[in-house]
Amino acid sequence: MEDGRITGFSVSGHSGYAEAGQDIVCAAISAVVTMAETTINDVCGAKAKVRVKEEDARVTLTLPTSCDEEESVQAVLAGMLLTLCSMRDDYPDYIEVLEV
C-alpha cells in the first residue's frame, strides 16, 4: 500500500486444509485471485504486471504507477482484500492476510 493506494498483491503457498484437488480453501482463494487479475487487466485494462511461480505456488500482481481506471481497480483490490479477510476469519488456521 502506498499513500492509501493498493499497489498490488502477492498470494503464495497452499492452505493445507485438505489434499490437493479436494482443498476448498485453496480453490476459493484461487478463484478470488483469478477474478481480481482478470477484472483488473482484461476488464479495466490496467496493464498490471503479473508473475506466476508454479514451484512456489505464488501469484504476484503489481499495478503501474497510474492507470486510467484507477477507481475501478482500487475497488476490485479492496473487494479482494475484504473477501480474503472474511475467508481468513472463517478459516483462521489456513489463511493469513498481511497488509504491507
Q: pTM above 0.85?
A: yes
Q: What is the mean pLDDT of each run of 10 residues along the chain (100 residues)?
A: 86 90 93 97 96 92 92 96 97 93
pLDDT of residue 86: 97
Q: Which residues of 47-57 are buried (b: 16+ CB within 10 A; e: fewer)?
A: ebeeeeeeeee
Residues 6+ apart with CB under 8 A from 67: 44, 45, 46, 47, 48, 73
Domain that holds residue 47: 8-90
32 within some domain = yes
Cα–Cα distance for residue pair 74/17, rounded to 1 Å: 30
Is residue 63 domain-resident? yes
pLDDT for the residue numbered 1: 66
What are the backbone angles phi and psi of residue 91, rounded to the nearest 5°? Answer: -130, 60
Q: Do the domain assignments include residue 30?
A: yes
The reply to whether 23 falls in a domain is yes
Q: Which pLDDT belongs to residue 4?
A: 84
Residue 98 lies in a domain: no
Number of domains in the chain: 1
In a domain, 99, yes or no: no
Res 2: pLDDT:
66
The domain that holds 28 is classified in CATH as 3.30.70
Give me the pLDDT at residue 80, please. Answer: 97
Q: Please check whether residue 66 is in contact with residue 17, taking contact to mean a CB–CB distance below 8 angstroms.
A: no
